[in-house]
Amino acid sequence: MKKKIIAALAASAMVVGLAACGSDEDNAATDTTMAATDTTMAAEPAGNIVEVAAANGSFGFLLEAATLAGLDTALAGEGPLTVLAPTDAAFEALAAQVIGEGATLEQLKEQLAKDVDGLKAVLQAHVISGKVLAADTAALDGMQADTIGGEKLTVSSKDGAVSFTVGKAVANVTTADVEASNGVIHVIDAVLLPLSMQD
């Protein structure tokens, strides 16, 4: 019995010894694999949806509005969520539409603060439960996606151009698949007003 154990240990030592004597090509392949792994790890999302949006710099109004409506915690939560994120420019266009030409984001914020439930409904119309990447939208073309606020967004995906529609409101995706640790952000060029708020 003792001889069998010693023989097994000796065989194991020889296998380990031979493996350690691999060629420089094997070592180079291992180094390349490690480098690729390091690159992949570096590409991990920089934070949750709120953190990634804040780092972008184009979503100041969206983040203020989310905080005002009490949605910032949900957007920073576990997820996964898909956020259709209107830029500050999209909110400026909404201000001009709702208040009048030349209206500022500050004026829009003051008006929205008077109806926090309405603001919450607007923002929830931009959040889909689950992670929907741009590549997934081709299979969803013409179908509806439910938002966490209960709106049904019609998805259009043709020749790489993706848009979302609710009633008369249409938003085009200008930058897709901004990854976050708890989901994905698609930058859109317009604010999607819920159907109940449209004329």
Give the model confidence (pLDDT) of 145-156 as tens digits.
999 999 999 999
* pLDDT > 70 in the chain, percent: 77
Say yes or no to pLDDT of 76 above 80. yes
Say yes or no to pLDDT of 195 above 90. no
The pair of structure tokens assigned to 84 is 């259709």
The pair of structure tokens assigned to 120 is 């919450």
Residues 88, 190: Cα–Cα separation, whole Å = 10
pLDDT for residue 113: 87
Residues 52-78 as b/e (b if ≥16 CB within 10 A, e otherwise) read bbeebeebebbbbbbebbebbebbbee
pLDDT for residue 57: 87
Residues 149, 120: Cα–Cα separation, whole Å = 8
Contact in structure between 51 and 180 (CB atoms under 8 Å): yes
Give the model confidence (pLDDT) of 12-25 as tens digits.
333 333 333 444 44
132 pLDDT tier (thresholds 50, 70, 90): very high
49-197 adopts what CATH topology? FAS1 domain (2.30.180)
Average pLDDT of the residues in 38-67: 81
Among 43-47, 111-115, 137-141, 149-153, the least confident range: 43-47
Residues 6+ away with beta carbon under 8 Å from 82:
127, 128, 129, 130, 131, 132, 183, 184, 185, 186
Q: Do you find a cis peptide bond into 80, omega within 30 degrees of 0?
A: yes
Q: Which of 111, 120, 28, 123 is nearest to 83 (CA)?
A: 123
Which pTM was predicted?
A: 0.76
197 pLDDT tier (thresholds 50, 70, 90): confident
Give the model confidence (pLDDT) of 167-182 as tens digits.
999 999 999 999 999 9
Question: Tokens 């969520």 sit at which residue?
Answer: 81
Q: Which of 137, 44, 47 is nearest to 84 (CA)?
A: 137
Per domain, the residue ranges of the chain are: 49-197
